[in-house]
């Protein structure tokens, strides 16, 4: 009887230990991967949000491919890409910095000229290629869209709603989703434990879904509130809505769940529904 009891206890211990081991494996996987589980948009995605934090490199690549496939399914070409990033180091003077000669990059000079003509950007050579908001995702964008002209723009915060509205108006009127894709290079919650970052990111994802412009001026935990505000204004003008592709955190991706200083990533696109 005693030996039977010992065997039963041992089996239960193995089962319970296995359950927690499996639970731990599940928890270590990136959360909220939505690449497969979504309905098709009614129009080509016109905006994609991806991170520049390279812990999420595979998610950057997958997000680019997913949007490329969705655009192709809707008959869109991608001749032009406009890549927005935050001016991390506050280099230069302009709120929006453009540049016409960036190494071997093929750009849309007509678009840049139009921005300059309307005083929406300024040329400040040598700054864009020093910022990882542009340089980190650029190789992946070039590989996914090798034929596209890519025009990077660095946006410096703070920006008022009136300033971002002018930019939203410009891009809504001067670009067409059938041949142009706007890409925003944005990292979200910074320097916080994952549990805090997840709470903040949940609020951000709700605001993206609701197109809550005020939230992005006052409350968002991200390195680019001004770019997000412009995108929400653009979404209203184009009657487009946010669809999430994935939500990840560096603590999970790097296998360090107890890390106290993390970076989170929200990937998704804007399109009509």
Measured between alpha carbons, how far is residue 38 from residues 33, 61, 62, 171, 266 in Å? Answer: 11, 18, 15, 27, 16
> CB within 8 A of 252, min separation 6: which ones?
28, 29, 30, 31, 194
Tens digit of pLDDT for each residue in 59-97?
Answer: 999 999 999 999 999 999 999 999 999 999 999 999 999
Burial (0-12, 13-18, 19+ Cβ within 10 Å), 101: exposed
Q: Which residue has the higher pLDDT, 85 or 219?
A: 85
Structural contact between residues 43 and 245, judged by C-beta atoms closer than 8 angstroms: no
> Residue 17: which pLDDT band, with cuts at 50, 70 and 90?
very low
Structural contact between residues 23 and 33, judged by C-beta atoms closer than 8 angstroms: no
Report the alpha-carbon distance of residue 81 to residue 148 in Å, rounded: 6
Q: pLDDT at residue 204 above 70?
A: yes
> Residue 21: which pLDDT band, with cuts at 50, 70 and 90?
very low
> CB within 8 A of 164, min separation 6: which ones?
226, 229, 230, 233
Please state, as a whole number, how many other Cβ atoms lie within 10 Å of the Cβ of residue 119: 10
pLDDT the model gives residue 19: 31
Beta bridge partner(s), residue 85: 154
Dihedral over Cα of 193, 261, 86, 265: its sign: negative
Beta bridge partner(s), residue 248: 265
> Residue 170: which pLDDT band, with cuts at 50, 70 and 90?
very high
Report the alpha-carbon distance of residue 45 to residue 3 in Å, rounded: 65
Please state, as a whole number, how many other Cβ atoms lie within 10 Å of the Cβ of residue 211: 18
pLDDT the model gives residue 142: 97
Q: Where are the alpha helices (DSSP H) in 32-160?
A: 57-73, 109-117, 132-135, 138-144
What percent of the chain is predicted at pLDDT more than 70?
85
pLDDT the model gives residue 37: 58
227: closest CA among 237, 216, 218?
216
Structural contact between residues 171 and 47, judged by C-beta atoms closer than 8 angstroms: no
Secondary structure of residue 198 in the 3-state scheme = helix
> What pTM does this model have?
0.88
Give the pairing of strands 262-271 and 190-192: antiparallel
Structural contact between residues 272 and 239, judged by C-beta atoms closer than 8 angstroms: yes
Give the pairing of strands 149-155 and 190-192: unpaired
């Amino acid at each position: 009887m005693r030996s039977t009891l010992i065997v039963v206890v041992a089996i239960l211990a193995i089962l319970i230990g296995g359950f927690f081991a499996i639970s731990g494996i599940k928890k270590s996987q990136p959360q909220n991967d939505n690449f497969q589980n979504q309905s098709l948009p009614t129009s080509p995605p016109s905006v994609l949000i991806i991170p520049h934090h390279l812990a999420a490199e595979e998610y950057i690549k997958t997000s680019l491919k997913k949007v490329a496939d969705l655009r192709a399914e809707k008959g869109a070409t991608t001749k032009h890409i406009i890549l927005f990033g935050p001016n991390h180091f506050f280099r230069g003077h302009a709120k929006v910095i453009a540049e016409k000669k960036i190494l071997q990059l093929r750009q849309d000079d007509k678009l840049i000229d139009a921005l300059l003509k309307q005083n929406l950007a300024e040329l400040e050579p040598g700054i864009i290629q020093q910022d990882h908001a542009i340089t980190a995702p650029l190789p992946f964008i070039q590989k996914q869209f090798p034929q596209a002209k890519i025009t990077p723009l660095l946006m410096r915060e703070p920006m008022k709603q009136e300033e971002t509205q002018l930019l939203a108006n410009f891009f809504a009127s001067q670009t067409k989703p059938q041949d142009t894709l706007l890409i925003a290079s944005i990292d979200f919650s910074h320097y916080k434990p994952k549990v805090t970052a997840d709470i903040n990111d949940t609020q951000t994802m709700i605001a993206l879904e609701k197109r809550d412009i005020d939230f992005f001026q006052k409350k968002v935990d991200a390195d680019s509130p001004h770019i997000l505000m412009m995108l929400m204004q653009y979404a209203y003008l184009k009657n487009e809505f946010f669809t999430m592709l994935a939500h990840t955190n560096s603590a999970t991706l790097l296998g360090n769940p107890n890390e106290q200083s993390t970076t989170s990533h929200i990937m998704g696109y804007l399109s009509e529904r």
